[in-house]
Structure 1
Amino acid sequence: MRIRVVSSREEIFTLSPNERLVHLAFRPSNKDIFGLIETCPKVEVIQLPKSYMATVSKSIEMFLQMQRVQLLEGDVWGHRKDINEYYAVPSSVVEKIKVMKAEGKAADEIEKKVSRESKLNPAMVGYILNKETTA
C-alpha cells in the first residue's frame, strides 16, 4: 500500500488520476482540495499533518463527505520526498493487521496496537484494516 506524498500545490495537477491515498505536506486551501478531487477522481483518503487539520474549513469537510473521501490526520514518518514520491506502508504492518483481524481482535484494539508499533495514525490503520480485509 502506497501513499502519494504531495509537497506543493503546483504538484497537485501533475498527479495520476488513479491516486487513491494522498498525503498533503503543505497547508491546503479550499481551491487546492477541489483541484485534488478534480485531478484524482478516485481518491479515497486525504491525509494531513495534525497542525494543518485545524485549518480545514467545515465546507471542505462536508464536500469531502459528499465525495466519499476520508480526511485523516497523520504524518509520513521518516519519508524523504527527494528519494521517492510515495510513502510505502510496510507489508509487515499490513500483514500484522490481517493476522490480528483473523485472530478476532477488536478494530479499536488493532488500531491502537499497530499505531503504537508502526507510527501510523490510528485512523490510517483503521482505513487499512477495512480496505485490506474487504479486498
Structure 2
Amino acid sequence: MKIRVVSSKEEIESLGTNEEMVHLAFRPSNTDILTLVTKCPNVKALHIPTSYKRTISKSTQMFLDMKGIALIEGDVWGHRKDINDYSEVSDTVYESIDQYRKDGLSDDEIGAKMERELHMSTDLLKFLLKNRK
C-alpha cells in the first residue's frame, strides 16, 4: 500500500482523487481534514503523528468515523519527501501477515509480533490486518 506523504496544507490541493492513505506531516486543522476528504473521496485512512492526533477535535473524529475513514497514529520513519511523494508498505509485510495467519496466529498476536519485528505503529498494523482479510 502506498502512503501519500503531505508536508503542508498547500499540498492538499495537489492530491489526486485516487489516494487511499495519506500521512499528514503537519498539524492539520479541521478545515484541512475536510478539504482533504473532499479532494480525495476514496481515502480510507489518515495517518498522523501521535502528538498531532491529540489535537484533532471530537467532531472531526466523529466526521471521519461516519465517513468510514480510519485515523491512524504513527510516523513515516526514514522517508525522504524530496525523493518520493509516497512511502510504501513493503510486500514482505503482507507476506508476513499471510504466513502468520496460515500458522494460526490471531490478529492481535500478529500485530504484537510484527510491531516488535518491524517497529511499525500499532494503529497502522491494525489497519493493515483489518484490510488484508
Q: What's the counterpart of residue 76 of structure 1? A: 76
Cα distance in 2 for residues equivalent to 1:130 and 1:102 = 16
What is the number of residues matched between the two proteins? Answer: 133
Equivalent position amino acid for 1:10 in 2: E
Q: In structure 2, how many angstroms separate the alpha carbons of the residues matched to 1:91 and 1:130? A: 16
TM-score (norm 2): 0.96
For the pair 1:111 / 2:107, whether they are aligned, the reply is no
- Report what 1:95 is aligned to: 95
Partner SS state of residue 55, structure 2? coil
* Aligned match of 2:127: 127
| 3-state SS of paired residue (2:132) | helix
Moved more, 84-93 or 117-126: 117-126
The percentage of aligned residue pairs carrying the same residue is: 49
Matched, 1:21 2:21: yes
| Mean Cα deviation higher: 113-122 or 46-55 | 113-122
Which deviations, in whole Å up to 9, do the C-alpha atoms of 1:79-118 show, x marking residues without a partner?
1110100001111111101111121101111111111211
Residue identity matched to 1:13:
E
Runs of 4+ in structure 1 off by over 4 angstroms are: none
* 8 A Cα contact 1:17 1:42, kept in partner: yes
1:48-72 deviations in Å (ceiling 9; x for gaps) = 1011011000000000001100001
For 1:130, what is the secondary structure of its paired residue?
Answer: helix
Any gaps of 5 or more consecutive residues in structure 2?
none
CA distance in 2, matches of 1:126, 1:102: 18
Alpha carbon RMSD of aligned pairs, Å? Answer: 0.9
Moved more, 49-58 or 96-105: 96-105
Greater displacement, 88-97 / 58-67: 88-97
Q: Distance in 1 between matches of 2:116 and 2:81?
A: 24
Q: 1:124 Cα deviation (Å)?
A: 1.0
Gaps of 5+ in 1: none
Which string of whole-angstrom CA distances, capped at 9 and with x for unpartnered residues, describes residues 22-77 of structure 1?
Answer: 10000000000000000000100001101101100000000000110000101111
Q: What's the secondary structure of 2:130's corresponding residue? A: helix
